[in-house]
Amino acid sequence: MFQSPARCLCSALPALCCAPAASASRLPLPPRPRAPPPPPLGPAAPRATAGGPPAPGAPPRTVCSMGNSTSRLYSVLAKTLSSGAVSQHQDCLEQLDPARLDPIDPKDLLEECQIVLQKRPPRFQRNFVNLKKNAASNHRPIRVMQWNILAQALGEGKDNFVQCPMEALKWEERKCLILEEILAYKPDILCLQEVDHYFDTFEPLLSRLGYQCTFFPKPWSPCLDVERNNGPDGCALFFLKDRFELINSANIRLTAMKLKTNQVAIAQTLKCHETGRLFCIAVTHLKARTGWERFRSAQGCDLLQNLKNITQGAKIPLIVCGDFNAEPTEEVYREFSNSSLNLNSAYKLLSPDGQSEPPYTTWKIRPSGECRHTLDYIWYSQHALNVNSALGLLTEEQIGPNRLPSFNYPSDHLSLVCDFSFNQDPDRLL
């Protein structure tokens, strides 16, 4: 294993070296051998695995040993696993200057993640579907990744995934599955929901991979109701600084019926270094649960109005990523489809007719039964942007009978990834 005495991957501690951040280049993802997956759980299987998770009432789990490895990379990776480490260094986290952090090589981070995950079954194989119809673009595509990563406090404390063993949810390994997925697809822009390990994991790591990082927590996050939580969850937005310049950033607390709500959004106007063109990227997470359809509709209207102001009425191209908690039959979906911003849903283009959403973006089993829904979307200005390709979804066979999350996949929502290019004549279709 490559070791660098000057590199500590996940640390936000005062001993960090002062060096400019490195960019995350698109490197091929090497395969990692792992043990075969555990046998499927039966309908009434308890939350246990052959690995022997702690019994109810037992002391909290400790970070697993790395065997004989003396890698400083993992030793610091392990330090980020407990919220105690965060609170101990909270002053440092609040004053963190990413420009002064030691850069890290994504290959080294991936290698460390794969060591942690070596006893897990192989990660799922997903392929990009080529959707390009026009002539070759004169610039590199912009890869955007949308993902509700499942807040750790909710996964372990509130969401009741009855067919998912608790061992599969432990943060020491689930964190590495999330990072591996991000490293696999190497997004230029990353939009995440349910982030409750921003300050101790995602900000210190991704900033050192060359991303500029922004986080906006929910005002009354349900994570705070969970014992030994790691703070509130919220939306996070990351973009590569070597590709884009931040022109404007807005943290939006969504309103419904003139009342401020618990849901938020981040909208940033970026300038593409290569083309000089501006565009807006937004991330949001709307209200969950059946019975809140009108509430979500009101939140969607508020977000659209904010985005109209930011994009000067669609003069600036727009990409909106989010867990909308709404099926395509809901009013909030129709509002985005019919908006004067001229938005289209990118994943509709995977269907034979180009007009149908995927059958699911989340699939889980809770005490109330099996839930399979399409809730996650990447909306884009169809007059100004082209979708070159989109990442295919996991099949039912890949997901397996116990659904998500699982030992293979860290969230109950699938990641969505699209490659965009600028339309050469954006005003023609507006």
pLDDT recorded at residue 138: 83
Q: What pLDDT is attached to residue 97?
A: 62
Position 335 scores a pLDDT of 98
At residue 65 the predicted structure's pLDDT band, cuts being 50, 70 and 90, is very low
Residue scoring higher pLDDT (12 or 308) = 308
* For residue 396, pLDDT beyond 50: yes
pLDDT tens digits along 197-221: 999 999 999 999 999 999 999 999 9
Q: Which residue has the higher pLDDT, 317 or 102?
A: 317
Asked if 163 and 41 touch (Cβ cutoff 8 Å), the reply is yes
pLDDT at residue 24 tops 90: no
pLDDT at 137: 78
373 pLDDT higher than 90: yes
Structure confidence at residue 289 (pLDDT): 95
Predicted confidence at residue 277, as pLDDT, reads 97
For the stretch 94-104, pLDDT in tens is: 445 655 678 99
Residue 63 has pLDDT above 70, yes or no: no
Which two three-digit tokens encode residue 270? 């970026």
Rounded to an integer, the average pLDDT of 353-358 is: 96
Percent with pLDDT over 70 in the chain: 75
Of the candidates 155, 236, 227, 186, the one whose C-alpha atom is nearest the C-alpha of residue 409 is 155
pLDDT value of residue 64? 33
**The pLDDT value given to residue 135:** 60
Domain at 149-422, CATH class: alpha beta
pLDDT cut 90: percent of the chain above it: 72
Q: What would the mean pLDDT of 177-188 be, rounded to a whole number?
A: 98
pLDDT in tens, 148-175: 999 999 999 989 999 999 999 999 999 9
Between residues 69 and 252, the one the model is more confident about: 252
The domain locations on the chain are 149-422
- Averaged pLDDT score across all residues of the chain: 83
- In the beta sheet, which residues pair with residue 143? 419
> pLDDT band at 1, cuts 50/70/90?
very low
Single-letter residue type at 50: A
Q: How confident is the model at residue 427 (pLDDT cuts 50, 70, 90)?
A: low
Place of tokens 């959004």: 265
Residue tagged 């990353």 (tokens) = 190
Contact in structure between 27 and 186 (CB atoms under 8 Å): yes
Residues 258-272 pLDDT 10s: 999 999 999 999 999
CB 378 within 8 A of CB 115: no
Neighbours of 38 (CB within 10 A): 17
**Can you give the three-state secondary structure of the chain, one letter per residue?**
CCCCCCCCCCCCCCCCCCCCCCCCCCCCCCCCCCCCCCCCCCCCCCCCCCCCCCCCCCCCCCCCCCCCCCCHHHHHHHHCCCHHHHHHCHHHHHCCCHHHCCCCCHHHHHHHHHHHCCCCCCCCCCCEEECCCCCCCCCCCEEEEEEECCCHHHHHHCCCCCCCCHHHHCHHHHHHHHHHHHHHHCCCEEEEEEECCHHHHHHHHHHHCCEEEEEEECCCCHHHHCCCCCCCCEEEEEEECCCEEEEEEEEEEEEECCEEEEEEEEEEEEEECCCCCEEEEEEEECCCCCCCHHHHHHHHHHHHHHHHHHCCCCCCCEEEEEECCCCCCCHHHHHHHCCCCCEEEHHHHHCCCCCCCCCCCEEEEECCEEEEECCEEEEEECCCEEEEEEECCCCHHHHCCCCCCCCCCCCCECCEEEEEEECCCHHHHC
- 80-107 mean pLDDT: 56
pLDDT digits (tens, 9 = 90+) for 26-41: 545 556 655 454 444 4
Do the beta carbons of residue 389 and residue 130 sit within 8 Å?
A: yes
pLDDT of residue 306 exceeding 60, the answer is: yes
